[in-house]
A = this chain, B = another copy of it.
Amino acid sequence: MIRVTVLYPNGKGTTFDMSYYTSKHMPMVKRLCGAACKSIGAERGLNAGQPGTAATYIAAGYLTFDSVEAFEKAFGPHAGEIMADIPNYTNAKPVVQISEITL
Contact = CB atoms under 8 A, between A and B. Distances in A.
Interface of A: 2-5, 18, 21-22, 26, 40-49, 51, 55-57, 59-61, 68, 72, 95-103
Given A102-B18, A103-B41, A97 B49 contact: yes
B96 A43 contact: no
Contacts of A43: 3, 99-103
* Integer count of this chain's copies in the complex: 2
A60 B62 CA distance: 13
Given A40-B103, A103-B26, A103-B41, A98 B46 contact: yes
A97 B45 contact: yes
Contact of A46 (B2, B46, B48): B2
